[in-house]
Structure 1
């Protein structure tokens, strides 16, 4: 069998990674774009989403689809509320100073992590997927009799992984519509452009900040709910999403949602392919080197705008 089917299989795995990464990174980009806050605790909001999803699924019981559907609603809302409360009680009191908010979110990271360890425990726990049918994939190959369709053993994916990709695409489209076409998005963009002018026009900037911080965390939690049937919920699972999200946001351009999505696709696909053929460590090394190159040759990122 040729190399092509293996590349297709690796690309499908990378597409799942890219879908989840795009949701997580867009939440981080939204917070930085509007608030100019670097949220180091973003990965822990991702982790909380997975842990709450496990708790909801276990509490609801019954068919896996019922518990999973409840987790899709409850986990993002709960994490978003926690993040908004953290903004109003911590970041607001620091007046959103860049240096102090970095230190504060580092502290929030450890608080959330240790509270989860004390209540949830150190075990990694799975959430059953609502559906998980195996889907075999065909491959077109040129043989002795010409072009023919074959069904290589092991070349396939699952219905749930395809659903994750589709669900992420729908949510990302919804975020774009919210930012580009809704009154809420207009208020966010006005606050991003000039905070003082927004205050002068009567926009409640602090409420907007709390809402944006909550939405960013809710997107990370939603990404975690989608991925937890494939991975497992664990109190240390926030580190990789945080690192990859920062890589994606830097490459795409700080605060640029289109650039963030494109960078997530590039990093996710490359991570999937390199991890399959070489090692996950090499994939992280290459992504980090790419960030270094972007910072040297294009500091504003692929879609960012150079500040004057």
Structure 2
């Protein structure tokens, strides 16, 4: 098989990574953009979403579609509620001070991680996808008789992976609509622009912060529910999403949702392609190098303003 089909296959794998990464990174970017809080525990909220999805799937064993549908709804709500509780009991008491909230979220990271280890265990456990039909992908090849449609062996994907990409696009559009077309989004943007002025106009800023923190965590949990049938739930699985989300947010621009999505697509596709042709380690090295170049030549990120 020529290079072209391999490239198509690698691009599809990268698109799945990009879709899940975009959801996770948008949650992180939203929290920083509105609250100016760097949430180091964001990856653990992702991990909690996967673990809760596994627990729900086990509770309705034998009905994978039902379990997955319940997990899609329940996991983001549960994780979002936990994040709201963490905001009201920890971050609010610290008055959202940037330095102290970093330390607090590091502590929250270890608390969530160790409690999950105690209750869930150290093993990685799979979740059955609701559907997983194998889909062959055609390719055009020029032979002696001209161009012909062929079906190369091994060139294919699954219906579930395509569904993950589609679901991520729908969710990201919904987040954009929430921020740009609703009163809640207007209040969030007003709080982001000027906290003191928002308070003067009677906007309950602390409630907005709690809502945003919960929404960011819920998006991370939702991304985990989508990816856990492809990967496996594990109590240490939050590290890579956290690292990649920070890379994406820095490249896209702190607090810039469009920049975050574009950077997630860039990093996700490059990660998938480089991992297939070379190694996952090289993909991470190049992503880190790109962050360094962005910080040197454009510290505000590709889409961030000078004040970001």
The TM-score range, normalised by the shorter chain, is over 0.9
CA distance in 1, matches of 2:63, 2:123: 23
Corresponding position of 1:126: 126
Task: Structure 1: give runs of 5+ residues left out of the alignment.
Answer: none
Quote the offset at 1:237 in angstroms. Answer: 0.1
Cα deviation 1:211-265 (Å, max 9, x = unaligned): 0000000000000000000000000000000000000000000000000000000
Quote the offset at 1:62 in angstroms. Answer: 3.4
CA distance in 2, matches of 1:83, 1:144: 62
Corresponding position of 2:209: 209
Corresponding position of 2:268: 268
CA distance in 2, matches of 1:144, 1:32: 58
CA distance in 1, matches of 2:99, 2:307: 20
The equivalences for 1:194-205 within 5 A come to 194-205=194-205
Corresponding position of 2:111: 111
CA distance in 1, matches of 2:31, 2:101: 12
1:147 is paired with a residue whose SS is strand
The equivalences for 1:78-97 within 5 A come to 78-97=78-97
Quote the offset at 1:6 in angstroms. Answer: 0.1
Corresponding position of 2:241: 241
CA distance in 2, matches of 1:61, 1:191: 44
CA distance in 2, matches of 1:238, 1:165: 20
CA distance in 1, matches of 2:51, 2:271: 25
Corresponding position of 1:299: 299
CA distance in 1, matches of 2:265, 2:50: 22
Quote the offset at 1:65 in angstroms. Answer: 0.1
CA distance in 2, matches of 1:251, 1:241: 15
User: Is 1:65 aligned to 2:65, yes or no?
Assistant: yes
CA distance in 2, matches of 1:179, 1:253: 17
Corresponding position of 1:286: 286
Corresponding position of 1:11: 11
CA distance in 2, matches of 1:74, 1:42: 18
CA distance in 2, matches of 1:7, 1:279: 15
- TM-score w.r.t. the length of structure 2 is 0.99
1:152 is paired with a residue whose SS is coil
Cα deviation 1:68-105 (Å, max 9, x = unaligned): 00000000000000000000000000000000000000
Root-mean-square deviation (CA), in Å?
A: 0.7
Quote the offset at 1:144 in angstroms. Answer: 1.1
CA distance in 2, matches of 1:62, 1:74: 19
Quote the offset at 1:183 in angstroms. Answer: 0.2
2:255 is paired with a residue whose SS is coil
CA distance in 1, matches of 2:177, 2:47: 27
Quote the offset at 1:141 in angstroms. Answer: 1.2
CA distance in 2, matches of 1:141, 1:157: 20
User: Is 1:255 aligned to 2:255, yes or no?
Assistant: yes
- TM-score w.r.t. the length of structure 1 is 0.99
Corresponding position of 2:53: 53
Corresponding position of 2:161: 161
CA distance in 2, matches of 1:83, 1:9: 37
CA distance in 1, matches of 2:5, 2:267: 21
Task: Structure 2: give runs of 5+ residues left out of the alignment.
Answer: none
CA distance in 2, matches of 1:296, 1:144: 52
User: Is 1:34 aligned to 2:52, yes or no?
Assistant: no
Q: Which runs of 4+ in 1 moved over 6 A?
A: none
CA distance in 2, matches of 1:244, 1:89: 28
